Structure 1
Amino acid sequence: MAISHRLFAPVEIHEQTAIGVRDVQWDTRRHCIAIDGSQIMLTATEYRLLFPLRYGQPVTYADLARMAYEYKIDDKVRMMMDKHIDRIRGKLRGTGIYVYCVLNYGYLLLPENS
Structure 2
Amino acid sequence: MTETDPTRPYVFYGESDDCIEVGGPVREEFYADRDGRWSGTLTNGKHQLRVTLWFDGCWHAAVGQTDEEHPLPTWGIGIGQHTTDKGDQYSARLIVSAPAGTVLAEDPPRSQ
* TM-score clears 0.5: no
Scaled by the length of structure 1, what TM-score is found? Answer: 0.30
* TM-score normalised by length of structure 2: 0.30
Q: Which has the higher helix share?
A: 1
